[in-house]
């Protein structure tokens, strides 16, 4: 079947958009969908071990969110750094766009200026800063890149990181992992489930909106990932693989395999997973509830089934689950 962007639309009452995380982390709700029986179960995340297969490997994305949102002039001017090209040249989204015209230099503070070198068709700029991005003049202007549907609150900055975050580079959190606590991970370990880390720096590939009604015409932005030899060998010893989040899925499904075995690798992935895709590496999925018309919702629909995902989301809305980055979780087995 040929799916269109409209097929992935749904109505979400605004009050179901989570504005703050569950406290503690693992007290978020958990919807469990069994693909074999078609059964939906409502539970809490701290009970996830009772729903996971024995000895499954929990593959987590250990990328750490960087404070990539730079705000100036009381928040009226914004530079969202997507990629650092060198110490002073960055690829960025900006606001307001009319200030950042090609060849124009913007005075951001008394010390900081930004010159627009080029503007792409999608509005992304290449900017040249007069100071290195790691200069201490930028420190007071750095903010956590919360999604636009969450009211900015730096008090939640630490909660927008997973407890196992290590390698800084993400522009958004791998949110399925936000529900884990060290205590829950230890409990799962004692049950025979192993946490295995990989890295994907979340960028535009994950959260850029789809703008074409024909989803096959959507071009995914690439995201950098890395899997060490030790990590690959560990994955090859897994009885089954439970991907923690869509970013982990993107890595696992992008990894090269030889004779059915994972190989160590680094590189960029622009994999775009939609219904009809045949999964090669992932057996189970932990994820959050995603925005309408998003590539993330398309990936989940590919894994759980298109009509099945629609029913899961209808159930979640009826049961008043909390949606999006700080929202509740779903396990698909």
Q: How many CA atoms lie within 13 A of 137 on its CB side?
A: 13
Tokens of 256: 């090269």
CA nearest neighbour of 98 among 106, 88, 108: 106
Q: If one looks up domain 5-65+158-332 in CATH, what number appears? A: 3.40.1780.10
pLDDT along the chain (333 residues), means of 10: 95 98 98 98 98 96 97 96 94 96 97 97 94 96 94 94 96 97 98 97 84 94 95 96 98 95 96 97 98 97 98 98 98 98
208-211, Cβ contacts within 8 angstroms, sequence gap of 24 or more: 208/295, 209/293, 209/294, 210/5, 210/293, 210/294, 210/295
pLDDT for the residue 164: 98
Judged on CB neighbours under 10 Å (0-12, 13-18, 19+), 215 is buried
Q: Tell me the three state secondary structure of residue 111.
A: coil
DSSP β-ladder status, 284-288 and 240-244: parallel
C-alpha to C-alpha distance for 122 and 166, rounded to whole angstroms: 31
Q: Check residue 206 and give its pLDDT.
A: 76
pLDDT at position 207 is 74
CB 237 within 8 A of CB 287: no
Residue 158 CA to chain centroid, in angstroms?
Answer: 16
Closest to 68 measured CA to CA, from 167, 120, 146: 146
Residue boundaries of the structural domains of the chain: 5-65+158-332, 69-143
Best CATH choice for the domain 69-143 from the list 3.40.1010.10, 3.30.450.40, 2.40.10.240, 3.30.200.20? 2.40.10.240
> What pLDDT score does 210 carry?
93
Q: What is the spatial distance between Cα 299 and Cα 253, in angstroms, rounded to a whole number?
A: 11
Residues 6+ apart with CB under 8 A from 4: 213, 214, 215
Q: How is residue 261 annotated by DSSP?
A: E
- Specify which residues 69 forms β-bridges with: 80, 143
Name, in order, each residue with C-beta under 8 angstroms of 273's C-beta and a sequence gap of 6 or more.
249, 250, 253, 295, 298, 299, 302
Domains 5-65+158-332 and 69-143 fall in the same CATH topology: no
What pLDDT score does 204 carry? 77
pLDDT tens digits along 269-323: 999 999 999 999 999 999 999 999 999 999 999 999 999 999 999 999 999 999 9
The residue written with tokens 């993400």 in the block is: 170
* Cα distances (Å, whole numbers) of residue 57 to 6, 36, 114, 140: 35, 20, 46, 40
Could you tell me the two tokens for 214? 């024909």
Q: Write down the pLDDT at residue 208.
A: 81
Contacts of 304 (CB under 8 A, 6+ apart): 33, 35, 285, 312, 332
d(CA 89, CA 5): 35
């Amino acid at each position: 079947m040929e799916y269109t962007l409209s097929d992935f639309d749904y109505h979400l009452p605004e009050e179901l958009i989570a504005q703050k995380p569950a406290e503690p982390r693992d007290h978020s709700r958990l919807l469990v969908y069994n693909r074999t029986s078609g059964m939906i179960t409502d539970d809490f995340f701290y009970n996830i071990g009772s729903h996971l297969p024995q000895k499954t490997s929990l593959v987590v994305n250990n990328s750490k969110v960087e404070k990539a949102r730079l705000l100036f002039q009381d928040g009226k001017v914004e530079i969202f750094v997507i990629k650092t090209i060198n110490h002073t040249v960055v690829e960025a989204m900006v606001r307001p766009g009319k200030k950042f015209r090609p060849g124009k230099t913007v005075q951001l503070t008394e010390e900081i200026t930004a010159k627009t070198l080029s503007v792409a068709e999608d509005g992304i700029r290449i900017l040249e800063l007069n100071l290195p991005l790691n200069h201490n003049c930028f420190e007071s202007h750095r903010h956590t890149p919360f999604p636009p549907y969450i009211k900015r609150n730096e008090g939640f900055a630490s909660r927008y990181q997973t407890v196992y975050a290590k390698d800084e580079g993400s522009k958004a959190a791998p949110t399925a992992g936000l529900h884990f606590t060290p205590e829950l991970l230890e409990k799962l370990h004692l049950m025979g489930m192993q946490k295995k880390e990989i890295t994907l720096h979340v960028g535009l590939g994950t959260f850029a909106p789809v703008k074409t009604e024909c989803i096959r015409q959507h071009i995914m932005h690439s995201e950098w990932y890395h899997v060490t030899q030790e990590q690959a060998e560990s994955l090859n010893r897994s009885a089954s693989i439970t991907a923690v989040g869509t970013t982990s899925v993107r890595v696992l499904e992008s990894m090269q395999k030889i004779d059915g075995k994972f190989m160590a690798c680094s590189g960029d992935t622009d994999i775009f997973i939609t219904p009809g895709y045949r999964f090669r590496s992932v057996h189970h999925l932990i994820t959050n509830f995603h925005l309408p018309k998003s590539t993330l919702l398309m990936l989940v629909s590919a894994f759980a089934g298109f009509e099945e995902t629609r029913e899961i989301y209808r159930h979640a809305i009826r049961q008043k689950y909390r949606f999006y980055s700080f929202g509740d979780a779903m396990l698909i087995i």
